[in-house]
Structure 1
Amino acid sequence: MKKIRLILIAFLFLLIIGGCSTKKSPSSRRKPSLREQYITELKNQSGMNHQTFTINVDDVSIGLDDKKLNDLGKSQLNNFEKRYEGLTIKGAILQDKASRDRQLSVETNLLNYKTNFDLYSINETKDIYLSTDITNLLIAASMEFVDDLPVHTVKKEIVEDKYLHIQKSELTNWKQLVDGADEQWRTYLKTRKEGSFKKDKKELTYSFTKKDVERISYFRLKETDKKTQEMVKDVLDTIKEFTLDLRVDKANHTRKGTFDFTFKNGKYTYSVKGKIQQQFKDSEENVELPEPMDLISLDQFAAALTTLPEPTEEEITEIFDMIRAHQDSLDAESIAHYQSFYREYMNDEQFQRLNQLLDELSGEKGI
């Protein structure tokens, strides 16, 4: 459940991209340098209370360390790559000028799930509301990277037409990173050399690298507790390479960028390339919050997620097919995981069949 919370709360970082500080830069008579122009436009954009954004993943490649893949394994990796290539995430972020509440609206086709969802950041309480339309998508996506989420939880109905109420106390670590981050990364840019900033017609460009991410994170982490520092360090350790060429347009108040990053997860190395585009403006729209009766707590969500009925025969078939499909990665640890999890939900006959399947597959692999 802890990992699911981190996935849910990670959407807060889209709010950092937008800023929405409603404070604009003062004008200056002196002709500013390229660095000053770049930073000033970032601040002006962040001072606007509405943005639209689009993120496109154009290319995904996956490598497996120290292991020769058979034809089946190669086919599985190719299928995985194709599922993520063409991924689009688009939406809008609006900050209410009066209440300063924020609404993040997103549409995505991740893993072939065409999903729309909303996230609300409440200024008064500092809580988060997240529409449950996203929960099955998040579980499905996290299963690709998190080993301790069983496949057949994805098939269960959670709570429809509701919003997860993530309280301020559950956001402490993330808020330490988020609060003031928009201003701090601009402050960091002031330390970069003038020659690092380029101009092409109306656009100004800075190329962010892994070193930039590490340096910005270092300044942020100095103000956080040890638990948060360890959490971010674990994330940074997985990143092997990172580049983001971010272009800003002062006339049209846009940001456009191309990104290319590589990260490690267990035995696998993932390389991802894509584009991001943002458009900023001022808006008089208001943020309409969900009704209190439509909110559920994370504990209620966890109960709905983990309180599973006995699997049907159809679900048993799906579970067994999933285990067979992942036979190449089967080892003593994963066998123990399957047994410990499904013992709680399967009846004796179903569990016996599971053990027979695991014995058969492990015998073929010589485990």
Structure 2
Amino acid sequence: MVELDSKDVETFLSDARRARDADQVGLVRQIPIERDYDDGRIFSAHLEKVVDSVGDCAAVPFAAVDGTVKFEVLPINARRPSLLGVQVFPALLGKPEIIRYVASYANEIPPDDAIVVSRPVRTDYREFADLLRSGESAKQVIARLTGPGNRRPVFVYGIGVILATGHQNGCMAGDAHEGNFMPGPEGRTVMIDHEVWFRFGPGTSAQCATDLAPLLPTFSSADWSAFRLGYLTTWPDGGRVIDLIEFGDTTGWLNALHAKDFARAVVALDRALDLCPTTDESARMVLLANRAYARSRNNQSASEDIDAAMNISVRIAPGFLPLLVLHASVANSLANQHFEATRLAMTLMTEQWPPIIVESARRVALHALSGQPITDMDLPFIGRRGNDLVVVPTTNWHLGRDS
């Protein structure tokens, strides 16, 4: 058992998630904020807030498993009648299946509503691939927002502003379909109904994406462009939410790559590969190629990853092979393997490949021939939108992709 006793919210959440991922049970003695609560004010809602903030976990009051509480069926219309009047802290926290297993050993097994489970999240949005494929630039969206007949784009832009404001402050709308918003005065969008719930700190990517998911079935591609602009203008860090919806990034690797935080990207891509089915070859090709990119720029060997990505590309996506070969050439250059970097670059210097590939290969070869690693070349990443493999630029991301 691990004690989760930090009063700093971010430290507490980090420690709790680390314990969860290691299949450990954490002991939470108090609500993790620097504020005193009287015993009577610690209700089950506070425990719900803790588990929703950690995510993908469950918790049960220690009093519910050590025999302190004698449960009885209460004819009360309450969310968690079994926890009425129960001191919920200290509590045990961990993966739902582990907490249920621990609770099963109590002399009196706690009822289902005494075990608080985090809200489910959605991470697969591939069915909306056509909706998310808009090629509209930020400038084009702004032109629609300020042009004639702009009622619809202004309305959905405003929904993005409202949800982003909530998400960055730990407030989830809970029922964000279009019918719960309406155009207000002076072109402002207003929320007229909700099932709001709160967490500590900004929502996770999966929580925020799940919160806005009810909007997607009624959105057009143009609506999505206006919504994402409102969302990202209000909360730039919400780009990780957009990355999850558009590219299926559940661990934050794309955000880390764009920030050039390659150590964090490697860790995130390690997790993503652990979660990725071995049968999903296109997803694995994307993750392996990007991990090779991150490793090569983090002074780690990338050869095994890039070779595996190229082998998959030959079978399912030969059109991406030149880009992967270029990635391999740069990785070898950064590792001071200049002969191999030159050999790979030379295979790309023919007219059959796009000029940008040829010119990039020429630059790598010139550096390699002079015995110098090429340290100033930012290559595009590979992503998957829906079931389609796409090239993702390294710069001008999100709001600036019109440049």
TM-score bracket for this pair, using the shorter chain length: under 0.3
**TM-score in terms of structure 2 length:** 0.23
**TM-score in terms of structure 1 length:** 0.24
The structure number with the bigger radius of gyration is: 2
